[in-house]
Amino acid sequence: MSESTTEEMNTLGFTSLAEGLQKNFKRVEDVMTDFAKSYEDMDMDPFNLTSAYQEWLASVGSNPQKLIEANLAYMQNATTLYQQSVMSVLGINAEPVVTEEKGDRRFKHDDWAEKPVFGAIKQSYLLASQWMRGMVSDMEGLDEQTAQKVKFFTERYIDAMSPTNFAVTNPAVIEKTLETKGANLVHGLRNMLEDLERGKGQLQIRMTDAEAFELGKNVAVTPGKVVFQNRMFQLIQYTPTTDTVFEKPLLVVPPWINKFYIMDLQPKNSLLRWLISQGHTVFVVSWINPDESYRDTTFEDYMKGGVITAVDVVEQISGVSEINSIGYCIGGTLLTSTLAYMKSKGDMRIKSATFFTTMLDFSDPGELGVFIDQEQISSLEVQMEKDGYLEGSSMAGAFNLMRANDLIWSFYINNYLLGNDPRPFDLLYWNSDSTRMPAKMHSWYLRNMYLDNRLCKPGGLTIDGVPIDVSTIDIPVCFASTVEDHIAPWKSTYAGAQLFSGDVRFILGGSGHIAGVINPPEAGKYGFRLTDGLPDDPDAWASKAENHPGSWWPEWQNWIAPQSGEQIEARIPGSGKFKALEEAPGSYVKARIGVPADEPEQIAATPAATEATPEPAQKEASVKPETKVATDKPEAPAKDDLTVISGIGPALARLLQSKGISSYADLAGKDPGEIRELLDNEGAKYKKYNPSSWPEQAKSLL
């Protein structure tokens, strides 16, 4: 909360508070009325917890001895706590009956340790938590999936019931309420209502001030150019910062479930900027944020129209047919599938692969497995069939549940109970900027990877008629995983690393799925372990792997540099036949949830035919007859293609044509202010476009 807002709160009287509460409760009534109208269409038990807990209750009933022992232990501890609390009130110090785990930040306020009443509240909660955990552990008669689901959601219930989540039992909230005369609760309720309205009845807690960030301005600012785009992705080539570069370029394949700029948040922690500084020519795939028109897009489309097409373009721009690659998370899963496909086709252009937190063997997906079973996938498929895609916020919600205290309840307390406004935080801005998943592709991915675990089985998957066998991949590979990863558990990524037949290096960094990867050397954090040998037992590997301080990035550079070829003159983006279409980070990455995504046409040059290029890839990257390629002296076609102008996609071109702007001459004759007014009249979704340079671009085309 800003200082001015706090001052306002401190000067508010009870009359103002009452008026504020009255207005808020009227909004509550309106929101709940709208929610009630739509509840019949909502799945109130999306995780099938009713069935899971019915099985758990049956298991408890079959073992009454365990229940009796657990209840007796709880009653004994509760009695001891009562006696200790009485002694504390009388001023007699006593050792606590139970303490929170080290690193639990919920109880950091001094009153939890210094005031007996809060000490008793905290310990009562911790004892009840211990009892509940004991009741859902080691239950006989439950299958592994059900047991894991019951444990996971019981833990989430324990998180929700923490006394820190309630105003009357949180000393920090009580302190703030007295300080502001209750105005924090008024402001917090307003924040909650705004989040409910934004989520259309579902509470979508804001984690950061999204208005504080703009892509290309203060996040994702590494200089580069979009040099290619089709309906699946834009390809960004970054501007070199060294006079010479390695001969082999580096292609980065991010996950399609997240946006690539997690690798380029700020200059101080940008992995992409660091890679460039090490002398790599860096190309990054920026996936489209699909809408309902992509409902039938397949995994094969992401592989052939995505990765293989990107390889074709990188080869033509760089002038070499040997490429290094990186895949992040499920981008690595896609890259692995592509490598096996290319191997079967005799395509050997990718000479090394690095995988960040990538699972290939999904037999143990960790806590994420509780969200993936036959019933839940079928439920998702019903929703995706209706919409044509899965909204990214659905997956983000699952990931947030896995770290509920950090990613849900801490913001609940800050925004609603303390009445603070969310603070700017680039990582959380990225975390809230999720993407959609096409219905057909996502269903295929969940079933074939997570549910049936087919990728790790030779020939378990067939893509475009080709059996996929990871064991045929014999290029050097490097896995970089993290010890606290709750999305891709490191032992599962270790199992995937053992599938390859070539040389494999395995690096285990500290921290989790994001912080352990985005760990610049200057930070000097976490440390890592590595070896080139992979024994069957991951614990045996970990016990023998040598520990190293700091970031693993320099160690990876030591591994990749000898495989990157000679030093050559730095390559400048847009200097060849693939001209710059727009500045990095491009327009695809800027499409946010709630904003319709354009369906771009393919903009490409026909790739040079080589023996290493598979025939399907050639067809995928070939140009449609009507497609234009930017050149030094573009010639206007018989019918002007407005999409050649940077910033105008096909949907926008159709709108302009409907308004009488169908040629370069029409556009060149317009003032940018006229175009701005035209767009504003069409609705809020067109405010994102900047027409200031369009007339000049049109003039140059003429």
Q: Would you please indicate which residues are annotated as catalytic (active-site) residues? A: 329
Closest CA to 374 of 451, 437, 315, 299: 451
Given a contact cutoff of 8 angstroms between Cβ atoms, the answer to whether 249 and 318 are in contact is yes
Alpha-carbon distance 287 to 277, whole Å? 24
Instruction: Report the C-alpha gap between 124 and 54 in whole angstroms.
Output: 27
Name the CA radius of gyration of the chain, rounded.
Answer: 28
What's the per-residue H, E or C state across 59-88?
A: HHHCCHHHHHHHHHHHHHHHHHHHHHHHHH
Quick check: 593 and 434 in contact, CB under 8 A?
A: yes
Helices 694-701 & 672-681 angle (0-180, nearest 10): 120
- CA distances to 402, 511, 518 from 486, rounded to whole Å, are 7, 10, 16
Q: What b/e readout covers 459-491, taking b as 16+ CB neighbours within 10 angstroms?
A: eebebeebebbbeebebbbbbbbbbebebbbbb
φ, ψ at 477 (rounded to 5°) = -130, 155
Give, in order, the Cα–Cα distances in Å from 216 to each of 317, 356, 582, 589.
Answer: 24, 25, 12, 10
Cα 16 to Cα 694: distance, rounded to the nearest angstrom: 51
Strands 567-569 and 244-246 come out as antiparallel
Cα dihedral 185/187/189/195 (nearest 10): -150
Reported in sequence order, the residue ranges of 162-248 that DSSP labels E, i.e. its strands, are 224-229, 233-238, 244-246
Q: How far apart are CA 187 and CA 185, in angstroms?
A: 5
Could you give the CA distance from residue 696 to residue 674 in angstroms, rounded to a whole number? 14
Within a 13 Å sphere around the CA of 553, how many CA atoms are in the beta-carbon half? Answer: 25
Dist CA 667 CA 188 (whole Å)? 49
Pair of tokens at residue 671: 């003032």
**For residues 556 and 508, is the Cβ–Cβ distance under 8 A?**
no
Tokens representing residue 135 in the block: 């009741």
The Cα 363–Cα 454 span in angstroms is: 10
Give the bridge partners for 507, in sequence order. Answer: 480, 530
Three-class SS of residue 164? helix
Structure tokens at 273: 């900027």
Distance CA 251, CA 353 (A): 9
CA–CA dist 56, 566 (Å, integer): 62
Sign of the C-alpha dihedral computed for residues 288, 294, 299 and 303 taken in this order: negative
Inter-CA distances, 528 with 120, 485, 513, 542, 599, Å = 41, 14, 14, 10, 43
